[in-house]
Structure 1
Amino acid sequence: MTKTFPSLSRRTLLHTLPAAGALTAMAGSVAAQSQGPLRGTVDEADVQPLAIAIMISGTDPSGNTIGEQLTKVVINDLQSSGYFAPIDPRAFIETSLDVNSPPTWENWTAINAQFLANGRAYINANGQVQADVRVWDIYSQKEAFPGAGHMITPEQWRRLAHKHADAIYERLTGEKGYFDTRIAFVAESGKRGDRVKRLAMMDQDGANPQYLAVEGSGKIITPRFSADGTEIAYMALSADSARIFLYDLEARRGEQVAQVRGMAFAPRYSPDGTKLAFSVSQGANSDIYVTNLNTRSLSRLTSDPAIDTSPSFSADGSRIAFTSDRGGSPQIYVMGADGSGARRITFGGGLYSTPVFSPKGDLIAFTKQSKGRFSIGVMNPDGSGERLLTSSYLEEGPTWAPNGRYIMFFREPPGGMPSLWMVEVNGRIERPVPYTGGASDPAWSPLLP
């Protein structure tokens, strides 16, 4: 008799069978401040987005307004974070600025700007797009932090905007940026029950989507980035097999990993990129294994008669969170990276799956099914402090931004196609991720070099 989790997922069984810490920011309007910009621990329920004006000028030799294009991307990045309120450029009094000179302060206080990001974009002597940007503290009437100049090849101009947005986000919030990243995901098309599932990748803001020609036949699910972002592990699921492949993004080719008896699924890299954890199903049982990617040696971590799946390494690589029904229903357990000391951490009622450690190591994101609905939530690594961030008919597959501040997941309405969504770790910001078409199983890359 085949063993299954009781109604854990409306799509697939755990995708496999068959098969913040405090934010540093400034709150309040310029008029209300008496001590200058306030930076400190934010009251999460009372955050006021920073009012920032962004103006990057410049054209390329063909007359294309590259500065305006960069400005739009930086505005979109910062606004989507929920911690910035970019001012409409049509409200600007001063519309022409020298990047090397301070602005006319009263022109920006008049429109309630707290900060001004002023820059110039051009094609440098090496043929690269370069943008020099300075950020001014309007209240203090001085430069907020030293200016930055980034450059990149013309076809990657959007990355130039993301890099400047990351610099602004980091310096004004105290958190690492996350805009210059990519999302690997499963692009879905076709009718329900006969969906075509392909490995795809795009920028975190939905731009530049592309399909990746991968090895392995069947449906592609559960893509996962390596620690350095140069590889994607994924599972190819067919009627009689489930195999794991590693796809080299530079070479644009893949190879099968972990030659094991049974069906291999749910891959996840270790933080140092040297190991890959996954599950192997043999008959009615599945256990967690780890392979060393340098030597290809294989170690079995669990040997329980239950279903153990969805392994995820902690940020320091010392622990693994996973899902198991060894207690009678799917719950989240944590064990040592060598398989020792497994213990259950979820006792909140409902069915738990897809645990993922935060890059900071301070939280575990998860999927929970309770009372006919699915939720994305976070908890402390010991299972305490559970918080549900978002809930709907069906949502699964959380993945962390590299700064540990945002979670992406997919949501599917009754009878509809899945789509990607993003939520801030405190539940303040929840929004769809732009992509035209069905999309599921997102994986967030580290910051690009």
Structure 2
Amino acid sequence: MMGAIAKFETPPDFLGKVLASVRSGIVALAAAVFLTAPAAAELNIDITQGSVQPLPIAIPDFAGQGDAGQLGREIAGVVAADLKRSGLFATLDPASFVDRFVDPNAVPNFQNWRVINAQALVTGAISRAPDGRLQADFRLWDVFAGQQLTGQQFFTTPENWRRVAHIIADAIYERLTGEKGYFDTRVVFVDETGPKGARIKRLAIMDQDGANVRYLTKGQDLVLTPRFSPSTQEITYMSFGAGDPRVYLLNIETGQREVVGNFPNMTFSPRFSPDGQRVVMSLEQNGNANIYSMDLRSRTTTRLTDGASIDTSPSYSPDGSQIVFESDRGGNQQLYVMSGGGGPAQRISFGQGRYSTPVWSPRGDLIAFTKQMGGRFAIGVMRPDGSGERILTEGYHNEGPTWAPNGRVLMFFRDVGGQNGGPQLWSVDLTGRNEQRVPTPSFGSDPAWSPLLN
């Protein structure tokens, strides 16, 4: 379960301790702005370039006494890992630090950080508030300008410390890149265990870095294609149990599950509309598969395609005005775009091979896809009109891209092959250069990234 986190801006001239007495009653996730005029420093990362030189950043352990000191080390470690994994930051080795202890209540000795080429510095402190909650403070400094760039303070329950670390990493990422971060997010996926011919598949959810895995189903039924709602903490997914396949809605926080529909034939790839009020999916009838949308309030369905072909894997544009989907209406799997209400479709993929599993970027500027050609599977992106196709990664079997909420990183699954092989989760950024495995307890497939939680 997610816990509440109260967030406050920390003015550059003090750590906000005089404000603590008026904050103790706040329990909901909220923001109160006390920030003075922003610093005039120009430190930033231009992530619109084709190649980005990682920015050297120093992140000493956050100060704290007793168990708070251990949490301070762990929070600093998670912040550093998040930023390093993005490929935009080079976190400096603590062994190189001239200042081994950093007083979070004092202005840093910037010269000691300049000599190790740190361009940015993060300082912080962890303590216990009088009511038992965890208090976390951090500041981000421009080392060469000698100025504070941002600072925040958080109150939460101790078990929420990892979320605090992710939120701090998001704040640093946003201040230095100008783009929203993606670290305070979760990923739902299909956990796969057992022998290759008889895998048990359970829905699972975890933090985007692989921590805090929690199972959402028990494995009695086959589950496929979980997808997050963009507006609530709900997922939709396919389940094949006794009888017909069903599309379910599952509230992640309460565990409440309800059937969207019990369809007499095969159903594929349910996905939410941008407002979370509809689900679009593919229904098979008489050997053909067409795309339908269902209003989740009235449970009425609307047919969006009507042809003697297999139309599947629909995905809305962020404004809901268009849908991209895959279809074999031209002879093999290709990508098409149509109005959000159905109607004529325009083919957008024209390269060699077959295209599938399209998903629209949250930014609206790109569509990610799987491409199969010559026995290999690639993950790529193209513009909504089909131009600018780029392959980000390829291998034996890559499939199922899902976007981080800032539209800068993709997660997908890759089957490693072999007698005892199985799917693993991987991520890659839009440069295609920063590819990393995402740890899971066992095999994992069909990832779906959540919106930002904070």
TM-score, structure 2 normalization? 0.87
* Match among 177, 180, 200 for residue 181 of structure 2: 177
Residue 167 of structure 1: aligned partner: 171
Residue 30 of structure 1: aligned partner: none
CA contact (8 A) 2:78 2:166 kept: yes
Residue 358 of structure 1: aligned partner: 361
* Match among 329, 332, 340 for residue 329 of structure 1: 332
Give 3-state SS (helix, strand or coil) of 1:258's partner: strand
Residue 386 of structure 2: aligned partner: 383
Q: Distance in 2 between matches of 1:408 and 1:378?
A: 13
Residue 8 of structure 1: aligned partner: none
* Match among 133, 148, 152 for residue 156 of structure 2: 152
Q: Which moved more, 1:291-300 or 1:112-121?
A: 291-300
Give 3-state SS (helix, strand or coil) of 1:171's partner: helix
CA contact (8 A) 1:276 1:293 kept: yes
* Match among 137, 156, 161 for residue 132 of structure 1: 137
Residue 20 of structure 1: aligned partner: none
The alignment status of 1:208 with 2:212, answered yes or no, reads: yes
Alignment of 1:107-146 (within 5 A): 107-143=112-148, 145-146=149-150
Alignment of 1:275-290 (within 5 A): 275-290=278-293
Alignment of 1:294-309 (within 5 A): 294-309=297-312
Judged with a 3 Å threshold, the aligned counterparts in structure 2 of structure 1 residues 38 and 408 are, in CA distance, closer, same or farther, namely closer
* Match among 302, 315, 337 for residue 312 of structure 1: 315
* Match among 66, 69, 74 for residue 69 of structure 1: 74
Residue 256 of structure 1: aligned partner: 259
Q: Which moved more, 1:146-155 or 1:166-175?
A: 146-155
* Match among 433, 446, 449 for residue 444 of structure 1: 449
Cα deviation code 1:338-387 (max 9, x no counterpart): 10221111110101100000000000000000011000000000111110
Residue 220 of structure 1: aligned partner: 223
Judged with a 3 Å threshold, the aligned counterparts in structure 2 of structure 1 residues 429 and 39 are, in CA distance, closer, same or farther, namely closer
Note the C-alpha offset of 1:39: 5.4
Paired residues in the alignment total 412
Note the C-alpha offset of 1:60: 5.8
* Match among 273, 277, 300 for residue 276 of structure 2: 273
Q: Distance in 2 between matches of 1:262 and 1:167?
A: 47
Cα deviation code 1:41-100 (max 9, x no counterpart): 65313x210100112423365465111010110010000000000111121111222323
Give 3-state SS (helix, strand or coil) of 2:113's partner: helix
Q: Distance in 2 between matches of 1:293 and 1:63?
A: 46
Q: Distance in 1 between matches of 2:44 and 2:263?
A: 56
Aligned AA (2:199):
R
Note the C-alpha offset of 1:436: 2.7
Unaligned runs of 5+ in 1: 1-34
The alignment status of 1:291 with 2:294, answered yes or no, reads: yes
Q: Distance in 1 between matches of 2:424 and 2:400?
A: 12
Alignment of 1:45-64 (within 5 A): 45=51, 47-59=52-64, 62=67
Unaligned runs of 5+ in 2: 1-40
Note the C-alpha offset of 1:217: 5.1
Cα deviation code 1:376-402 (max 9, x no counterpart): 000000111110100001010000000
CA contact (8 A) 1:56 1:121 kept: no
Judged with a 3 Å threshold, the aligned counterparts in structure 2 of structure 1 residues 187 and 38 are, in CA distance, closer, same or farther, namely closer
Residue 22 of structure 2: aligned partner: none
Note the C-alpha offset of 1:40: 4.5
Residue 249 of structure 2: aligned partner: 246
CA contact (8 A) 1:401 1:407 kept: yes
Q: Distance in 2 between matches of 1:49 and 1:85?
A: 5
Residue 435 of structure 2: aligned partner: 430
Cα deviation code 1:317-341 (max 9, x no counterpart): 1101111101110111111011022
Q: Distance in 2 between matches of 1:39 and 1:398?
A: 26
Q: Distance in 1 between matches of 2:301 and 2:395?
A: 39
Residue 50 of structure 2: aligned partner: 44
Judged with a 3 Å threshold, the aligned counterparts in structure 2 of structure 1 residues 48 and 270 are, in CA distance, closer, same or farther, namely same
Note the C-alpha offset of 1:435: 1.5
Q: Distance in 2 between matches of 1:413 and 1:164?
A: 34
Note the C-alpha offset of 1:261: 3.3
Residue 83 of structure 1: aligned partner: 88
The alignment status of 1:234 with 2:237, answered yes or no, reads: yes
Give 3-state SS (helix, strand or coil) of 2:196's partner: coil
Residue 4 of structure 2: aligned partner: none
Q: Distance in 2 between matches of 1:115 and 1:234?
A: 42
TM-score, structure 1 normalization? 0.88
Aligned AA (1:191):
P
CA contact (8 A) 1:229 1:445 kept: no
Flag as ranges the 4+ runs of structure 1 deviating above 6 A.
none
CA contact (8 A) 1:323 1:332 kept: yes
Aligned AA (1:152):
T
Q: Distance in 1 between matches of 2:47 and 2:195?
A: 48
